[in-house]
Chains A and B, each alone.
Chain A
Amino acid sequence: MSDGMSVAATATHVEHVGHEKLGFVRTYIFSTDHKMIARQFLFFGLFMMILGGLMALMIRWELAWPETQVPGTRWIPEPFMTDGYMNPSFYNQLFTMHATIMVFFVVMPILVGCFGNFLIPLMIGARDMAFPVLNMLSFWVGAVSGVVMLAGFFVPGGHAAGGWTSYAPLTAVTQYTGVNWGQNLWCISLIILGISSLMGSINYITTIVNMRAPGMTFFRMPLVIWSLFIVAILLLLALPVLTSALAMLLLDRMAGTSFFLPAGGGEPLLWQHLFWFFGHPEVYILILPAMGIGSDILAVFARKPIFGYRAMAFSMIGIAFLSWIVWGHHMFQSGMNPALGTGFMISTMVIAVPSAIKTFNWLGTLWGGSIRFTTPMLNALAFVSMFVIGGLSGIYMASTPVDIFIHDTYYIVAHIHYVVFGGSVFGIFAAIYYWFPKMFGRMMNETLGKIHFWPTFIAFNCTFFPMHILGIGGHMRRIYNPMQYEFLRPLQPVNVFITVSAIALGLAQIPFVINFFWSLFAGKKAERNPWKANTLEWAAPSPPPHGNFEAIPVVYRGPYEYSSPEVTEDYLPQDRQLARRHAVAAH
């Protein structure tokens, strides 16, 4: 039945392939083409990544050499900096905004906004998204949200300074932080962003359910599409919870309600329950697409079918279900009933199992392969190995007694960066190197790619691994001067080492920027299928025109038929029709 529907749905889209010539505005700015919207999300996310990264470096400078002049910042006025010396409240604004930007305006726009948009229609064999105008609105509403978020730096009192988790009552009353409109704009921006994500997720779900090409059953979808499908469902269900919490916080701040204020009968822990009920699925929203991307790239460059395709899909579905019942592990020390802590510990231990399954299947995919060490592959391998560290370090926090000690220390900071940088950001780099030829019609430079990868991989580990040591030493998060504490002074050389590595990590991104822009204009022209991959996007021209395919492809098999004995080449595209007896044998 769904095949019939998808044919009908695509038929309505065929007509707008006809009127090609759109003006500049409709082509590049208010475009309804999913590929242009994807590029917009990519540029938006990369721009924000630079801002978020610079903030991280300022934070690191302060931690290594507390209360000294931060180089190159004398232009930043009061009340943020005084002649290059950072004020404590600005430090709080910096780590709040670093995390807010990286989570909501870098990883989500790039992994979900850019690659969701680019890959879903191309990989399921559709001409565009189900709702192209909604898709355009999703980007522009997201852009408005970004502008509102950045505007927070320009209002009196400065930006939100309560951490990206924004725990009430610190954030619910202006006097507690001295921040007024900064915090309000933070709430408003994320409410707007919620609308943008909602529009995107409805579009993704509708498109995947209804517009798959003939023969593209659910279990012939590439794992990256599975991951984006699951993420869209998580977004649809999780964001309304955040939006409600933000609305309540805004009402507490502006309308005199007391949802989170005990003086008026409110409950501070309510914020934490609502925030983490959204926040834990959110963590998987950040990592699942990278898991899908990693799986696809591993199979392509190992020239092997993915090991345990169904186990991979089901483990992602398992993560999606379990992600709703683990939020309490952020709250073990919050004063929540300790008996609840026990329940959340068990569910948290259980959610580690699907991640373990995925890791072993990635290893299984490498086993017996014919591995090509291209730049996308190196980044995908980095994703797998760094995600392993991030996953394993999570077990420490899952154990409630160990969490008593490491909660709110740098151990948590190390963990989240291994998952979100080591996992999601290496996933982003892998995806950019891999799909750049399809997206822009030109190849990225492999040598520059490797000059980017190796320093990044090494500097990343030098930056974030020692944070485990800080955590074990008891170093608290979100403090502006560790030298104020006697027990932290012996750890200061570790802080200095981390900061030097972080600066190196920042510098290591320069080859990427050069490679990206140079390849955009002067890279080698990409052929249709430069990586000799099986999935449908490589059946379209590079870059695909409006409408994507000359003719809607018909799908005959799963996405990972590499080194199949049926053909002499080591790949067998999903849409290639073999002689009839072969086609039967393939199933």
Chain B
Amino acid sequence: MMSWLPENVSTYGNDIDRLFYLIYYITGATFFLVAVTMVAFLILYRHREGRPARYTHGNTTLEIIWTIVPAVILVVLSFMSQATWGHIKGHMPPADVHVQVTAKQFNWEVTYPGPDGKLGTKDDLEMENEVHVPVNKVILVHLKSKDVIHSFFLPNFRLKQDAVPGREIQAWFQATKPGRYELPCAELCGFGHSGMRGWVYVHPADEYDKWVKEHWPSA
């Protein structure tokens, strides 16, 4: 079932997928055990004339075991998740490239800081629904919204972050493979929500330099 996951092209995507698989195996095994036990009981203990039901009110040892075992598994799972969560969302790594993405009904406005590396200066460049980034570099996204809540979703990068009006939220990713990847909005944002979509272009280093030269010839 997990083969339906979109191809992963980000550095931390594997960490997420690994946890995804781990939980898949744990829950799959649990479901299998519960289902087999249930079906077995339903067959073994179906009503038969002259075979009375067992008169019992429970078993304290069993209660303790099936309280502690799931609790331990779940707490361990929390700690394993925490490392990846902290890595992706906890604190932002030093950025190689900054991009500002401002969501609005129903487009992504992408602002590039230009050669000075600063947003909000004269050499900024704005594009609609196109994010151009180099491969193997840390991209820091400054996420804003002009109207309602949108959600910046990169299925191939295993990244999702809501864009909330009134604040700037930072998110980061690092691509491992050049290509063109879809950027849908994942939070209902109005009648045009379906179809609000941009593209992320991941360029190899030389191609990215060429793209930069094209748009900032002076630099």
Chain A residues at the B interface, C-beta cutoff of 8 Å: 87-89, 91-92, 161-163, 167, 169-170, 176-178, 262-263, 266-269, 302-305, 307-311, 333-335, 338-339, 341-342, 345-346, 349-350, 352-353, 356-357, 359-361, 363-364, 366-373, 381, 384-385, 388-389, 392-393, 395-396, 398-402, 404-405, 407-409, 468-469, 472-474, 476-481, 484-487, 491, 560, 562-565, 570
Contact = CB atoms under 8 A, between A and B. Distances in A.
Contacts of B31: 388-389, 392
B119 to A, nearest CB: 19
A338 B2 contact: no
A476 B153 contact: yes
Given A335-B161, A357-B63, A401-B16, 6 more contacts: A333-B162, A334-B149, A342-B85, A399-B77, A400-B85, A408-B160
B94 interface: no
Given A335-B167, A388-B34, A487-B182, A395 B75 contact: no
A88 B188 contact: no
B212 interface: no
A366 B45 contact: yes
Contacts of B188: 92, 162-163, 167, 170, 477-478
Contacts of A311: 58, 63
A428 B116 CA distance: 64
Given A161-B191, A400-B81, A487 B165 contact: no
A392 B27 contact: yes
Nearest to A359: B34
B195 A484 contact: yes
Given A338-B89, A370-B53, A88 B149 contact: no
Interface residues on B, range: 35 or more
Nearest to A265: B166
Given A388-B34, A484-B197, A401 B165 contact: no
A408 B153 contact: yes
A362 to B, nearest CB: 9
Interface of B: 1-2, 4-6, 15-16, 19-20, 23, 26-27, 30-31, 34-35, 37-38, 41-42, 45-48, 51-59, 62-63, 66-67, 70-71, 74-75, 77-78, 81-82, 84-86, 88-90, 105, 147-149, 151, 153, 155-156, 158-167, 169, 182, 184-195, 197
Task: Name the 9 nearest CB pairs between A and B, nearest first.
Answer: A262-B166, A368-B54, A474-B155, A308-B58, A349-B74, A479-B194, A480-B194, A392-B27, A89-B191
A403 to B, nearest CB: 9
Given A169-B148, A369-B54, A484-B195, A405 B158 contact: yes
Contacts of B53: 302-304, 368-370, 562-563, 570
Nearest to A262: B166
